[in-house]
């Protein structure tokens, strides 16, 4: 049995939905289908989820949100008409939205999640209806009845362990199941959504629950590429990637799958296959537990901007027991998650994401470090990028750092920090943001230049 998820661009209009239905019916193993809400049809288009957020915001400000709601209904209306769907599906969607918009607004987060969930829910109903019209024995599956039980964290929900017990029964249903992504219910019956892009998570949970042979994730790219095609021209496609490599690359800016996606399938060792709805014959990228690291030590190069270093120095720091803990405790108390802590004998840097380190937070943290740790110096450097080199083959290969630093030197790029995790499947370099693209290109030339 395959669990198959289609992203927003695969459901953006009637033509895309026809392609989706062709893909589904081409393989009888594809039995549990997860859909996103209709996404962008062209570059500056607005996703249905974003239209819904606007609706909710308007209502929360006290407006009627009529115009915004009409825009949502119009998107579905256009699709339904082009697919030749009659039987009142558009009226049902309009009534559903109207019911949601008149719900209680005293808790704004609760209201927002309830509205956001309408995108996937109605899309699943529409796709099921279309498949039925085409003669397929398809059904819409209600996540509440199916047991998609989530924690009570609005917009950031997590699956509850007990959900799996009920969800696994889906394996025995004979119909083709169309399951809306992105949301579920608390045990008390309240709608909760995952973080944005969270339909990937729904698919992963379902694949784990029914013990799928593979989790197919259809999007709008043929493969995961070894570097960002906006930075490197025509980068090498990755055909096989391990979960660990995927994690390292996603951490540093590869955004093929939502970050929380891999965990449920990873725990069960179920492979993920990233594929393209517009080119269903391309085999895509397989994400697997283990791979044969034959084709070169490095599989991908990623880069992410928006980091800052909090640099702390104190003479004889190495002799002071508990210094590191006390530094990190300040970050913990300020609710700042840190990324890395490279250190020397008398200094330590704490690397954090700039978006959680505004000027007011910076001022507080610096003051607290100065006061409670009696340091010689503490200052913050902003606009830093992290460049990540990842590959299972790096573990057994001598000279990776030598080659990487040589490539940086030839490109005239100063490395401010090097971090090799103890797993040895990745190596990370801290550079100035303005050097980030050149750094990726330099590493790409070094590790992929000749073979591609
Ligand atoms: N529709 C939601 C979003 O735009 C979830 C998803 O597409 O996965 O974030």
Q: Are 158 and 118 in contact (CB under 8 A)?
A: no
Q: Which class for 177: exposed (0-12), middle (13-18), buried (19 or more C-beta within 10 A)?
A: buried
Distance CA 277, CA 305 (A): 30
Distance CA 452, CA 450 (A): 6
CA of 40 to the centre of ligand 1 (A): 11
Structure tokens at 317: 């720091």
Q: How would residue 300 be classed by pLDDT, with cut points 50, 70 and 90?
A: very high
For residue 296, pLDDT over 90 is answered with no
pLDDT at 450: 63
For residue 82, pLDDT over 70 is answered with yes
For residue 451, pLDDT over 60 is answered with no
Q: How would residue 94 be classed by pLDDT, with cut points 50, 70 and 90?
A: very high
Distance CA 57, CA 105 (A): 11
Q: E strand or H helix at 333, and its extent?
A: helix 323-333
Distance CA 43, CA 49 (A): 16
Average pLDDT of every residue of the chain: 94
User: Once rounded to an integer, what is the mean pLDDT over residues 383-407?
Assistant: 92
User: Once rounded to an integer, what is the mean pLDDT over residues 92-96?
Assistant: 96
Ligand 1 pocket test: which of 6, 37, 181, 205 has the largest number of ligand atoms within 8 Å of its C-beta? 37
For residue range 263-279, what is the model confidence (pLDDT) as tens digits?
999 999 999 999 999 99
In angstroms, what CA-CA distances link 120 with 20, 126, 319?
A: 15, 10, 57
For residue range 151-177, what is the model confidence (pLDDT) as tens digits?
999 999 999 999 999 999 999 999 999
For residue range 246-258, what is the model confidence (pLDDT) as tens digits?
888 888 878 778 7
CA of 225 to the centre of ligand 1 (A): 22
The residue contributing the CA closest to ligand 1 atom 8 is: 197
CA of 194 to the centre of ligand 1 (A): 9
User: Once rounded to an integer, what is the mean pLDDT over residues 48-53?
Assistant: 98
Q: How would residue 293 be classed by pLDDT, with cut points 50, 70 and 90?
A: low
160: left (phi over 0), alpha (psi -120 to 50) or beta: beta
pLDDT at 250: 83
Q: Which class for 162: exposed (0-12), middle (13-18), buried (19 or more C-beta within 10 A)?
A: exposed
Q: Closest ligand 1 atom to the C-alpha of 196?
A: 9
User: Once rounded to an integer, what is the mean pLDDT over residues 410-431?
Assistant: 89
Beta bridge partners of 390: 300, 426
For residue 295, pLDDT over 80 is answered with no
For residue range 195-247, what is the model confidence (pLDDT) as tens digits?
999 999 999 999 999 999 999 999 999 999 999 999 999 999 999 999 989 88
pLDDT at 449: 87
- Ligand 1: list residues with CB < 6 Å: 8, 36-37, 47, 49, 119, 181-182, 196-200
Structural domains in the chain plus CATH codes: 2-288 (3.40.1160.10), 300-448 (3.30.2130.10)
CA of 261 to the centre of ligand 1 (A): 13
């Amino acid at each position: 049995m395959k669990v198959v998820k289609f992203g927003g661009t695969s459901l953006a209009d009637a033509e895309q939905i026809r392609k989706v239905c062709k893909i589904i019916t081409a393989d009888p193993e594809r039995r549990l289908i997860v859909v996103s809400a209709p996404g962008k049809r062209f570059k500056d288009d607005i996703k249905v989820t974003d239209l819904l957020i606007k609706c909710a915001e308007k209502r929360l400000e006290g407006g009627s949100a009529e115009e915004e709601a009409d825009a949502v209904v119009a998107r579905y209306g256009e699709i339904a008409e082009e697919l030749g769907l009659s039987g009142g599906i558009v009226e049902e969607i309009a009534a559903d939205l109207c019911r949601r918009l008149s719900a209680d607004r005293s808790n704004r987060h609760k209201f927002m999640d309830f509205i956001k969930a309408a995108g996937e829910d109605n899309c699943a109903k529409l796709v099921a209806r279309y498949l039925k019209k085409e003669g397929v024995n398809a059904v819409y599956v209600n996540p509440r009845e199916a047991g998609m039980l989530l924690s009570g964290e609005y917009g950031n929900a997590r699956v509850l362990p007990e959900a799996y017990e009920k969800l696994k029964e889906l394996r025995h249903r004979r119909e083709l199941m169309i399951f809306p992504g992105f949301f579920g219910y608390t045990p008390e019956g309240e709608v909760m959504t995952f973080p944005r892009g969270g339909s990937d998570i729904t698919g992963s949970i379902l694949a784990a629950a029914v013990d799928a042979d593979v989790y197919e994730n259809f999007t709008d790219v043929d493969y995961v590429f070894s570097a960002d095609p906006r930075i490197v021209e025509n980068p090498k496609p990755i055909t096989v990637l391990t979960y660990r490599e995927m994690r390292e690359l996603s951490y540093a800016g590869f955004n093929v799958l939502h970050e929380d996606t891999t965990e449920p399938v990873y725990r069960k060792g179920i492979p993920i296959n990233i594929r393209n709805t517009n080119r269903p014959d391309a085999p895509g990228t397989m994400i697997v537990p283990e791979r044969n690291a034959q084709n070169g030590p490095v599989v991908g190069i990623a880069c992410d901007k928006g980091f800052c270093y909090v640099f702390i120095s104190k003479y004889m720091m190495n002799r002071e027991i508990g210094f590191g803990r006390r530094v990190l405790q300040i970050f913990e108390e300020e609710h700042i998650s840190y990324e890395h802590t490279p250190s020397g004998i008398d200094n330590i840097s704490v690397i954090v994401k700039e978006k959680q380190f505004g000027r007011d937070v910076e001022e507080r943290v610096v003051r607290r470090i100065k006061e409670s740790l009696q340091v010689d110096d503490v200052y913050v450097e902003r606009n830093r990028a992290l460049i990540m080199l990842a590959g299972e083959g790096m573990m057994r290969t001598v000279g990776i750092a030598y080659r990487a630093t040589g490539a940086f030197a030839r490109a005239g790029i100063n490395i401010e920090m090097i971090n090799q995790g103890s797993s040895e499947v990745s190596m990370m370099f801290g550079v100035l943001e303005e050097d980030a693209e050149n750094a990726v290109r330099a590493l790409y030339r070094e590790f992929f230049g000749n073979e591609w």
